[in-house]
Amino acid sequence: MQQSETSAMKRTSLNAWNLSLGRAICGDVQAGLEREWLVTNGLGGYAAGSLLGATTRSYHGLLVAALRPPIERWVLVTKVDEELRLPQGPVLRLGVNEYHDGTLDPQGMSYLDSVCLEGDIPCFRYRLGTALILEKRIWMEYGQNTTYVQYALHGSYDESGEQVREPSLLTLLPFCVARSHHSTLRGDPGWHFQVEQEGNRYRIRASADTPVYQLIVGPSARFEPRGLWYWRVLHRHDRERGLPCEEDVYLPGVFHLPLMPGDRVTLVLSAEQEPPAALGSPQHEEQVAQAYAHHRRRLKQLLAVADRSVEDLAQSDPVRARLVVAADQFIVARPQYVLTPTGKRYLQLSPDHKTIIAGYPWFEVWGRDAMIALPGLLLSTGRYSEARGLLKAFASSANQGLLPNRLPENAAAPEYNTADASLWLFRALDRYLAATGDWTLLKELFPALEEILQWYMRGTRFGIGMDQRDGLLFVGLGTSDLQLTWMDARVDGCPVTPRRGKPVEINALWYNALACMESWAVRLAVDATRYSQLRIQVRKHFAERFWYPEGGYLYDVVDVDGETGENDSALRPNQLFAVALPRRLLSDEQARSIVERVRAELLTPLGLRTLSPRDPHYRSRFNGDQRQRDSAYHQGTVWPWLIGAYIDAYLHVYKDNQAILPLLEPLVRHLWEACLGTVSEVAEPEPPFTPAGCFAQAWSVAEVLRCWTLVTE
């Protein structure tokens, strides 16, 4: 690729690092409520909300604590509203709340001038007069269920143009709940949260069986008890999704803080048993400043690790820097607790005990998602030790050859209903070895890899196994209610796209795994004959079984429900993996034909449709209640993560890097469109391709980052 082309693309996205939205969005109620922000803590906990401050989802909160990292997430503080009384002036109400009848009160969007990301910290700027601005910054302590909400006043003049000589009075209204982030809270006039004061720390507890959390302020703050319920707050996104959408929130009291221009004051929200002792003391703001500085140092280190060849990645490649920060949000700790000599327990954060959250705000750890996302999230960011630990952890978790599909939020046993997570492990390990040359890990994992393939060869649970006649894998035979591929939506307990038989991407991954094992066995001086013979058998039968000559592309499933010759000709993106994976299965002419058919019918600015619009089962709309969404999930809905397979396949066919950057540019622009600085799970299949689903998805970010790095280095 020409250097000038790369530089031109970087210039068009120069502000991807200093990402901001101005008054045109902040002053528009609909646009401001549609856009969201997210910060995370490396434990699975997070803080999130709408740009304007209203909670448009039950999942929104300033303190959503992972009580059993990385799961069991509880919303404890939904939001904080602000009121500012200027000297000899009016009270300015800066918050925004939406209620069940459509009422917006207060309407602080009239003051919100801009929102930007400073690294990963959202900064909200409220213009209060001719030259007076209040800034609010929100971040979380890495490895702690602790959120900092910091306010800074800038400027010298009030509404009348006079120089400010007296402090303004900032009043903070924290709205409290205590519930799973999947639910909503109903209040009662006779129910009052317990509030225990210890200096400038206020311990909040909704009831005897809910967590205790703290609101901590500096010594300048004065607490005024309220004990009020705010009834029937609306979560508009939940209403659109057909979910419970009204909630009652509790205001235990308000904090009054004097504020002069140049001052900073911080409200700290924490579910930790022992937040730093300096918080709430006369050294409160000094402790906050240290936490802020530590947070910024960690961010700088992430960028340095991602690319050691440049001094400032944010300057040299702002798009990549932004995506590196987005990637970090999904990399979370797996529980590893250490007892101190005094008997206290603390969570140890180490590189070899990490995993990947599939998406925010509602997804948990999914094996398939983790293996697909690993190359982009961990290898494209230089986090090799974390990749190594994650590969070891998942390889050791295999059960009868299958990796866990999902680690549930409710602490239930892992679910193993996936035919491809184990196969994606081979692809992730292959990329890891190419990046690191860490052959000691291969030697360590080789027995587990052999066992996985043995189970697939002889057959394992859920009707997953190898057809001895052609070496191809079948899945789901003898089952009726399971979804075993990534197209896993169900309606009324039945898979929408069951894909029982021999799915195309499963067999492309199977071939890739066999080819990997063949070469790895040779490297380790192990007999590779079985893998070599089976790989040859699969290659011989793949094209003749999957090629659909009338369409010029691959069948999505052959031998449907075990019926030889019964094939599904739906045009889907799954076939791309037969071209995108490095071990080739098709002729150049077939590969080119597939890419062209996919480009003509599936490619959109935000990724690939999951079904051709020409198909009678195509669903042209995703959003709606759960039935509507699940019915459309893989029947046309666009998935950004699939752009990775398309780009890999395109480069194999055309070897033209210059054509790739324009494909990524709409996904870069998307960083401004939904949740600031990250990439959504899905999008509507028809223009304007509105983002939908989870507002931050691991494999979406991972594949955009991997491809950006691939074509700009």
Euclidean distance between CA atoms 417 and 402, whole angstroms: 8
Pick the CATH number of 351-712 from 2.160.10.10, 1.10.240.10, 3.30.230.10, 1.50.10.10: 1.50.10.10
Question: How many Å apart are CA 102 and CA 271, to the nearest integer?
Answer: 33
Tally the C-alpha atoms within 13 A of residue 194's C-alpha that lie toward its C-beta: 11
Answer whether 556's CB lies under 8 Å from 634's CB: no
Q: Say if residues 530 and 518 touch (Cβ distance below 8 Å).
A: no
Calpha distance 370→388 (Å, rounded): 13
Choose among 631, 591, 627: nearest CA to 611. 631
509 and 517 in contact (C-beta within 8 Å)?
no
Angle made by CA atoms 477, 481, 485, in degrees to the nearest 5: 65
Taking the C-alpha atoms of 704, 707, 709 and 710 in order, what is their torsion angle to the nearest 10 degrees?
Answer: 180
- Provide the 3-class DSSP secondary structure of residue 43: coil
> Which residue in 645, 685, 676 sits closest to 663, CA to CA?
645
- CB of 260 closer than 8 Å to CB of 154: no
- According to the model, what pLDDT value does residue 120 have? 96
Backbone phi and psi for residue 459, each to the nearest 5 degrees, phi listed first: 105, 135
Whether the bond between 688 and the residue before it is cis, its omega within 30 degrees of 0, is yes
Give the pLDDT of residue 264: 97
Fold of 20-291: Beta-galactosidase; Chain A, domain 5 (2.70.98)
Cβ neighbours of residue 14 under 8 Å, at least 6 residues apart?
318
How far apart are the C-alpha atoms of 498 and 484, rounded to whole Å? 8
Burial of 182 (0-12, 13-18, 19+ CB in 10 A): middle
Predicted confidence at residue 98, as pLDDT, reads 97
Give Cβ neighbours of residue 330 (< 8 Å, ≥ 6 apart): 356, 357, 358, 359, 360, 373, 377, 696, 698, 701, 702
At which residue do the structure tokens 């459309």 appear? 632
Q: How many residues does the chain have?
A: 713
Q: What is the dihedral of CA 456, 458, 463, 467, to 10 degrees?
A: 90
Q: Centre a 10 Å sphere on the Cβ of residue 518 and count the other Cβ atoms it contains.
A: 20
Contact 545, 566 (CB under 8 A): no
Interhelix angle for 698-712 vs 318-328, to 10°?
A: 150
Query: What are the φ and ψ backbone dihedral angles of 644, each rounded to 5 degrees?
Result: -65, -50
> Cβ atoms within 10 A of the Cβ of 408, count?
13
Cβ-proximal residues to 311 (8 Å cutoff; 6+ apart), any chain: none
Reference 552, options 603, 586, 501, 515; nearest CA is: 586
pLDDT the model gives residue 712:
83
Q: For position 343, what pLDDT does the model report? A: 67
Q: Is 161 exposed, middle or buried (0-12, 13-18, 19+ CB in 10 A)?
A: exposed
Helix/strand/coil for 83: strand
Minimal CA–CA distance to 574: which of 619, 616, 610? 610
Residue 518: CA count within 13 A, CB half-sphere: 15
Instruction: Name the CA radius of gyration of the chain, rounded.
Output: 27
Q: What is the pLDDT of residue 193?
A: 98
Mean pLDDT by 10 residues, the chain (713 residues): 42 74 96 98 97 98 95 96 90 97 95 97 92 95 97 75 77 98 96 97 97 97 97 97 96 97 96 94 98 97 94 93 98 75 67 91 96 98 97 95 83 85 98 98 98 98 96 92 93 94 98 98 97 97 97 98 94 98 94 98 98 98 94 98 98 91 95 97 98 98 97 81
Say what angle helices 367-374 and 421-436 make with each other, to 10 degrees.
20
d(CA 685, CA 691): 10
**Domain boundaries of the chain, sorted by first residue:** 20-291, 351-712
